[in-house]
């Protein structure tokens, strides 16, 4: 829901920052992989309940995720880069609640499993529509610089990262936040299924 506004805010700084790695010949895919490696460090930090460290790794991962797109726009957007970016993003998204489950299985396991289940809904509805939209050459009127058709929803990337930040700042309330956000994810999933089905049917 907020991604279209967040993109307008961060696009300028990211475009400026992208000039440096581009000058040194660093590719967008290398930035994607480096960002994912940094994001992986959030898992042991969460397991050890070092939530401030985990938050730092999450923020760095998201900065790299924005930077790789800016570099790709300078060097040329590619299908393999888009594939790598979206795949590692979804793995990272599921890694964070898994880390909280490992940190406190007795308290967080059911809520964490529900949230990961909810991410399956948002992710599958997003990717399935993107595949069909690509086959029919349907382009997003809002996210025109994305490798895939970016169908929106109530819970998008911006909301997900805000949720992760809350997890790290209020780890004792992980279960409550996970149940609430997971429920909002299902609203997104159902709205995407409805919108995607009718869009494809009309085409």
Residues 68 and 35: beta-carbon distance below 8 Å: yes
At 148 the pLDDT is 52
Q: Does the pLDDT value for residue 146 go beyond 70?
A: no
Based on C-alpha coordinates, what's the Rg of the chain? 17
Mean pLDDT of the region 111-122: 97
Q: Does the pLDDT value for residue 29 go beyond 50?
A: yes
| Nearest to 58, CA basis, from 46, 49, 67 | 46
At 110 the pLDDT is 98
**Residue, of 19 and 183, whose pLDDT is higher:** 183
Global confidence as pTM: 0.87
Q: How many helices (H) and strands (E) does the chain have?
A: 9, 0
At 140 the pLDDT is 59
For the chain, what are the domain ranges? 3-202
Q: Does the pLDDT value for residue 143 go beyond 50?
A: no
Mean pLDDT of the region 67-80: 90
CATH number for the domain whose boundaries are 3-202: 1.20.120.1760
At 46 the pLDDT is 98
- Of the given ranges (15-24, 37-46, 84-93, 172-181), which has the lowest mean pLDDT? 15-24
Residue 49, phi-psi category: left (phi > 0), alpha (psi -120 to 50), beta (remainder)? left
């Amino acid at each position: 829901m907020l991604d279209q506004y967040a993109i307008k805010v961060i696009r300028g700084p990211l475009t400026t920052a992208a000039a440096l790695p581009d000058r040194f010949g660093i590719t967008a895919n290398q930035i994607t992989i480096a960002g994912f490696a940094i994001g992986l460090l959030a898992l042991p930090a969460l397991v050890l309940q070092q939530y401030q460290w985990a938050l730092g790794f999450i923020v760095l991962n998201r900065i790299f995720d924005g930077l790789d797109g800016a570099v790709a726009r300078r060097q040329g957007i590619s299908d393999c880069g888009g594939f790598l970016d979206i795949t590692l993003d979804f793995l990272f998204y599921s890694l964070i609640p898994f880390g909280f489950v490992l940190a406190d299985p007795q308290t967080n396991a059911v809520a964490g499993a529900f949230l990961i289940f909810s991410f399956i809904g948002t992710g599958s509805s997003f990717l399935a529509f993107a595949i069909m939209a690509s086959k029919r050459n349907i382009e997003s009127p809002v996210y025109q610089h994305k490798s895939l058709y970016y169908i929106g929803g109530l819970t998008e990337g911006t909301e997900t990262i805000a949720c992760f930040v809350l997890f790290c700042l209020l780890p004792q309330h992980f279960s409550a936040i996970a149940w609430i956000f997971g429920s909002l994810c299902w609203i997104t999933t159902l709205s995407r299924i409805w919108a995607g089905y009718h869009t494809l049917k009309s085409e």
